[in-house]
Structure 1
Amino acid sequence: MPKKHRQIYQPKPGSNYVHPSLGGSPRSSGDTQPKPTLSVNERLSNLRLAQASPASSERKRQLAELSNQRSLPPSLGQGILGQTAAAAPAPRSNGTSHRSRIRLRTPGPAPPPSWVSRLTSHRQALENRYYPAKRQPRTFGKNGAPMRTTPHDLARFLNMANENPVTPGSLLDMSLKAAARNWMDIVEDCFDSLDVIPAHLRVVLLSYLTTLGPSEGIDMAGLHALFPYPAEASSLDLSGLAGWGFTLKELRNWLHKSAKDSRDQLEKLQDQADDIADSWDQDASSDDSDSIRFSIPLSLDTDIQHLTKLSLAYPPSSISWTDLLSLSKNLHTITHLSLAHWPLPTRTPNSTSPYASLDRDFEEPALVLRMLAENTYCLRWLDLQACHSWLPALIHRSYVLPLSDSEDWTPQQQRPTGPNWNGSWRHLTYLNISQDPSSWFPTNTTILKTSSFRQKMAKTYFRIGVKHQQIIDDLRDYISTHPAQREFQINHCGSCHPSADLGDCWEECADCNAYLDMFVGLMARWLERETEARTVARGIIAARQGTGVRCAFDHGWQVRESYPVLNWV
C-alpha cells in the first residue's frame, strides 16, 4: 500500500504568531527567567516617587493658581482693565431639530417648518382633534370614590318625621354642628367614649353628619362608635351615607350582628337569674333580679325589632335594589322610610334599558316595588322625593289575557303589578312625591295669564288642558298665600320702559322674547312632572276607594289628600 503523504508546513522566518485554537498550554522552558514579583512596600515606594516627580508638582501648582484667581464682571474687565471677553461656548449639536412637532396618531417624520409656522390655527385644530383638552378632574374622596351627595336641609329626615328635639340656634344645636364638622378628630380621640352621649342626641348627631360631616362620609367603624348597640336607636338617618362610606350589605350584617348580640346578652342574664343563689338573702338584695326574671324574652328570629325609622336617601348611582330587598326582609317594623333620589327600581341594572322610563316600561320596577311593599307591611310614611322618573310604577297595571279558549280577545283584564295599596301598604298615610327642591320652580305667575304663553306652549310642547289649568290655579293660590315665594315674581324689562313687567311687552322687546322661551321650556318640564305626580296620586286614591284610609300627598309646595273629579284626558 502506498504511504500517506503528510504535508509539513514551515513557518515564515520571523513569525511567531500562533492561533489561539491551535495553541495549547504554555510550556515552561528552562531558558525563560520568571519576572521578579514586587512586594507591597516596594509598590508603595514606587507610587511615592511617581507623585513626587517634577511634572506632577508643576501641574498641582498651576491648578492651585487657577483656583485662587478672582473672577471679574465683564463690564469691569473690558472697560477698565482692557481684557477681552471670552467667547461663549458653541451650542452642542445633538442632531435634533428645534422646530416643534405635532403629536400625530400615526408615527412618522415631523411636518415641514412651513406647514407649522404658516398655519398656526390648522396646527391647533389638529392638536384639538387628535388630543382634545383634558376635562376638569372630578373631585374624588376616599379610596377614589366620588364625593357623596348631601341633603340640602340640615337634619331633613328627622325634621320631616318630627323626631328632632333640638331647637335651631340653641347651644345644643351649635355643639352638634361643631361635632359634625370635626368628626374625624373626634373619632380618632374619643372613639371609645362616644356611647356616654344620650342615645337621642347620638341620633341627631348622625343626622347632622349627613350634611356637615366629612365629604367622603363615615364608614362602619364610625357608625359603630356612635352606636355600639344599635338597639339603642329607633331612628337611623343615613341620607348621603349609605352606599358611600359603607354598602347596604355591611349595614345589614351590622344590624343583624347587633340584634344577635343583644339577644345573647339577654339570654345570658336570664340564665344567671335562674341559677340557685348561694345565700338565702341574695335574691332579695338584688334589684335587677325581678326585672330579669319577669322580662319578656326576645324572639328567636333575626328581625330588627327596635328600628322604626330609616333614611337611605341620596345614594350613589351604583346603589343596588337587590341589597335593599335583602335588607328589608328583616325590617318588618319600619314605619318611616326615605328613598329620595333613588334610581329606577331594577334587579338587573346592567341589562335594563336606560330608556325604560321614556318607553313607559314599568313592568320590572312595579314588581320590585311590590316585593319591597310585602317586606315593609307596617309602613306609614314614605319619601320618594325626586323619583319622578319611575313614579308611574306605583300604580302600574298589566293586561292579562282571558283563560278561556274563545277567540274573542276584547275583554282583556288588568291586574296591578305594583304595590298593593289595600294590602301590604294599606297603612300608608303620607307619600312625598315632590320634585327636586334644588330644581326650578315657577314663581312668576304674571306670565301664566298671558295669551302669548299659551300660544307658545301649544306650539312648542303641548296644549294647556284641564289637568294643567288646575295645577296653574293651585300655583297662583299658593304664591298669593306665601309672600316668601314672590321673591322673583316681579321682573322689570328695562329695555321698553322701566315700569313694565315681563309679560306686557312680548312683541316689542327681544329680551322679553328670550325670557319667554326659557320660561316656557322650564314650565313645560315642571308641568309634565307635576301632572305625572298627580296622576299617581289619583290612581292611589282610586285604588283605595271604600277602604276609608286617606293618604296625604306632598308635592313640595302643597299637601293634598284628595283631588276633584275632572276629565283627566
Structure 2
Amino acid sequence: MPKKRTFQYSKPTSGPHPSLASSSKLDSSKHSMSGSDATTTSVNELIRHLRQTQIAPAEAQRSQLQEDPNAHTVHPSLKAILDLPDTPAPRPRPGMRNSEGRRARGPAGPPPPKSWLKRRSEGAAHNARTSGPDHRVTDKHVGSLPGVYFPDERSLEHLVLKSLAKNWQWHTRYDQFHLASLPVRHKETLLTYISAYNNRGIDAAGIDLLFLDQSELDGATGSEGLTHLDIGTSVGRAITLKEIKEALTKRTMDGINSSGVEDVPESWDEDMPLIASLSMSRFPTLTHLSLSNPANVSWKGLLSLSQHLATLTHLALAFWPIPSVTPNSKTAYRESPAGNIDYGASNFYSTADDDFSEAAGVLKRLSKATYCLQWLDLTGCCEWLHVLREHDGPDWGGAWRGLETVKVGQGWIPTCLETPDSEWRQIYDVNIDPWIDPSLLFTAPKNEIMTWAGEENRISKTVNKANSIIRSARISQTSEKVGSGQKEKVTFDRGWEGWWIEDALDHISRTTLISLP
C-alpha cells in the first residue's frame, strides 16, 4: 500500500493589528522587505506580511459602505480606537414626503404595476373618427367629452370598467350599495364607458344610485367636484330629457331648523308649519355634458333642460336631428279658404328648399340659455349645419361670443383615407378612362369616397360662410367687448387631420367627372 503522507502547515503568529503598530515598526518591516534580506524571506513570511499590510484605506472603506449601506458596522467606541470613518447615513427611500420633510407612509405591499400608473388623455386615447353613413359606430367614444380620464386599454382598470359598463343592469341590482362609494373621477369615466359599451345606457334610477351622498348612504362619495357628465346613448333609450332635468336637481325639505330637527308643534291646536320642497342643483360644478347619439329626442325638451345648463362650457349634441319644436307636424297641414297651410313651422320639404328658419330660431334660444359655452359638438349633424350661417341663427356676438370650437365632422372617414399609405391614388387614377369602363366610377371605394368628399365640400362652404357672419357679428359690438380678448373666428373641427386627406380632396375635385355641389 502506498505510504500515507501528512502535510504540516505553519501557524501564523498572532500579533497586534497593523493599525495599532507604531510607524517605526512598519518602516522597519518595509525596510526589511526591500534590500538583500528580501531574497531570503520565505513564502510563509510573505503571505503573513501581505495579510497584515493590505488594509483598505479610509476612502475605499467609506465608498464600500456607501455602496452597501447594510454592511456590518463597528461600535462607535471602537471606531475611535481603530481610527475608522463614520458610517454614512442610508440612502433615502423613494416616495412622497410631508411638509416636515419626513417620508409619508405609503400603502403596504409591493408597488403597483406600471400600467396602473399610466394616464392617457381622452384625445390621445380615443379619437372620434368613424361612424359610417348608415350611422354604424366603429369607434366607441364618438361624442365623448374632452378632459375625461381614460385608463390605458391594456390596464386592468380598463377591463374592469368595461365589464362593469357592459353588465351595468346586473350591477345596479346586486352591487347597488357599493357603486356610490366609487371616487368621483371613476364615476365620470364609468358614465362614458356605459355610453360606449352599453346599448341601453343608464337610466334615472342608476344616476340616483350612483350619486348618493353621505347623508343617504354611509361611505358614499356623492357628486362633489364632478365636472363631466356623459349620458350619451342613454337619451331616448333608458332616460328622457325630462328625467335628466329631474336628475340634475335634488329636492330638500324645508321646515327644518338649524339643529337639524323638524319643527313639530307642541299641541294639536297649533297650526302645522308648511313644509315645502326646495330644488337644489345636484351637480353644482358641472361644466361638461354629453347628450350624443340619442334615439328619440325633442328639441323642446332640450330647451326646457337648458334652463339648468347655464354653467356649461362643453356640450356634445352629436347626431341630433334637425332643430324643430314640432317634429311630428312636418307632414301635417290644416285647411283654410286660402289653401292648405302647414301645421308646423317646418314642412316636409324645408330641407330641400333650404328653409331653416325654425331651426335657426331654436338654436338662437339655445344659445341664449348656454351663454358660458366654449366648446360645442355637432358631429353627424351635416343635414342642418346651414343653420350656423343664418343671420337669425345663434347669437354669435352676444351669448355665444365665448364659443371657440365647434365640431362639424361627419363622424366617419373612408377606410382608404385613414392612413398616409392608403389606396386613394389608385382608386382615382387619372390614367383610367371612365368612358371605356363606366363601372369604375361606381365601385364601392369610389362611391364611398365620392359621397364623403361631396359632403366635405358642402361643410367647407358652410364653415367659410359661418366664419364671415361670426366675424361681422363680433366686430359690430362695442370696442370694449372686442378688446376684451374674444376671438373673431371660431375653430371648426372637421374630425380629421392629415396632408394626405387634403391632397385627396384636392385630387378628387380636379379629376372627377361628376361635379361636386
Q: TM-score range by the shorter chain?
A: 0.5 to 0.7
Residue type of the alignment partner of 1:168: E
Corresponding residue number in structure 2 for 1:418 = 393
Corresponding residue number in structure 1 for 2:153 = 168
Structure 1's 391 and 442: CA in aligned 2 closer, same or farther, altered over 3 A? farther
In 2, distance between residues paired with 1:173 and 1:363? 45
Corresponding residue number in structure 1 for 2:74 = none
Residue type of the alignment partner of 2:424: Q
In 1, distance between residues paired with 2:240 and 2:462? 31
Residue type of the alignment partner of 2:191: L
Corresponding residue number in structure 1 for 2:386 = 392
Corresponding residue number in structure 1 for 2:195 = 210
In 2, distance between residues paired with 1:328 and 1:485? 42
Deviation at 1:240, TM superposition (A): 0.7
Residue type of the alignment partner of 1:227: F
In 2, distance between residues paired with 1:534 and 1:190? 49
Give the TM-score, by structure 1 length.
Answer: 0.50
Deviation at 1:330, TM superposition (A): 1.6
Of structures 1 and 2, the larger Rg is shown by 1
Structure 1's 271 and 346: CA in aligned 2 closer, same or farther, altered over 3 A? same
User: Are 2:502 and 1:555 aligned?
Assistant: no
Once the two structures are superposed, residues 502-561 of structure 1 have per-residue CA deviations (whole angstroms, 9 ceiling, x without a partner) of 542326963xx313234665455334322332233223322225445142211111399x
In 2, distance between residues paired with 1:507 and 1:381? 44
Corresponding residue number in structure 1 for 2:422 = 487
In 2, distance between residues paired with 1:175 and 1:150? 25
User: Are 2:319 and 1:334 aligned?
Assistant: no
Indicate the percent of aligned positions where both proteins have the same amino acid. Answer: 30
- Indicate which of 222, 237, 244 corresponds to 2:206: 222
In 2, distance between residues paired with 1:421 and 1:532? 21
- Indicate which of 451, 464, 487 corresponds to 1:525: 451
Is the contact made by 1:392 and 1:532 (CA closer than 8 Å) also made in structure 2?
A: no
User: Are 2:360 and 1:434 aligned?
Assistant: no
Corresponding residue number in structure 2 for 1:98 = none
Once the two structures are superposed, residues 350-371 of structure 1 have per-residue CA deviations (whole angstroms, 9 ceiling, x without a partner) of 2232332111000000000000
Corresponding residue number in structure 2 for 1:320 = 298
In 2, distance between residues paired with 1:355 and 1:340? 23
Deviation at 1:152, TM superposition (A): 3.7
SS at match of 1:196: coil
Is the contact made by 1:303 and 1:330 (CA closer than 8 Å) also made in structure 2?
A: no
- The 5 Å alignment of 1:91-102 reads none
Aligned residues: 312
In 2, distance between residues paired with 1:150 and 1:326? 30
- Indicate which of 208, 228, 244 corresponds to 1:235: 228
Once the two structures are superposed, residues 193-252 of structure 1 have per-residue CA deviations (whole angstroms, 9 ceiling, x without a partner) of 211111110110111111222x33332222222222574332111111111101110111
Corresponding residue number in structure 2 for 1:56 = none
- Indicate which of 183, 201, 205 corresponds to 2:168: 183
Structure 1's 235 and 184: CA in aligned 2 closer, same or farther, altered over 3 A? same
Structure 1's 219 and 332: CA in aligned 2 closer, same or farther, altered over 3 A? same
Is the contact made by 1:151 and 1:240 (CA closer than 8 Å) also made in structure 2?
A: no
User: Are 2:438 and 1:516 aligned?
Assistant: no
Corresponding residue number in structure 2 for 1:412 = none
Corresponding residue number in structure 1 for 2:41 = none
- Indicate which of 150, 162, 179 corresponds to 1:194: 179
Is the contact made by 1:150 and 1:239 (CA closer than 8 Å) also made in structure 2?
A: no
**For structure 1, which segment, 346-355 or 235-244, has the greater mean C-alpha deviation from structure 2 after superposition?**
346-355
**For structure 1, which segment, 335-344 or 226-235, has the greater mean C-alpha deviation from structure 2 after superposition?**
226-235
Q: CA RMSD in A?
A: 3.3
SS at match of 2:462: helix
Once the two structures are superposed, residues 149-203 of structure 1 have per-residue CA deviations (whole angstroms, 9 ceiling, x without a partner) of 8854334444x51222423322211211121222232222111221111111011
Residue type of the alignment partner of 1:271: S
Once the two structures are superposed, residues 403-443 of structure 1 have per-residue CA deviations (whole angstroms, 9 ceiling, x without a partner) of xxxxxxxxxxxxx2100111111111110000131x64663
Corresponding residue number in structure 2 for 1:370 = 364
Once the two structures are superposed, residues 24-62 of structure 1 have per-residue CA deviations (whole angstroms, 9 ceiling, x without a partner) of xxxxxxxxxxxxxxxxxxxxxxxxxxxxxxxxxxxxxxx
In 1, distance between residues paired with 2:393 and 2:202? 34
Corresponding residue number in structure 2 for 1:504 = 431
In 1, distance between residues paired with 2:414 and 2:153? 27
In 2, distance between residues paired with 1:312 and 1:186? 23
SS at match of 2:424: coil
Structure 1's 440 and 315: CA in aligned 2 closer, same or farther, altered over 3 A? same
Residue type of the alignment partner of 1:505: I
In 2, distance between residues paired with 1:354 and 1:373? 26
Residue type of the alignment partner of 2:410: Q
Residue type of the alignment partner of 2:313: T
Corresponding residue number in structure 1 for 2:259 = 272
Unpaired runs of 5+ in structure 2?
Answer: 1-134, 214-221, 262-277, 331-346, 476-481, 500-516
In 1, distance between residues paired with 2:434 and 2:301? 56
Structure 1's 151 and 526: CA in aligned 2 closer, same or farther, altered over 3 A? closer
Corresponding residue number in structure 2 for 1:351 = 329
Structure 1's 356 and 441: CA in aligned 2 closer, same or farther, altered over 3 A? farther
Is the contact made by 2:232 and 2:291 (CA closer than 8 Å) also made in structure 1?
A: yes
Corresponding residue number in structure 1 for 2:465 = 539
- Indicate which of 249, 255, 261 corresponds to 2:242: 249
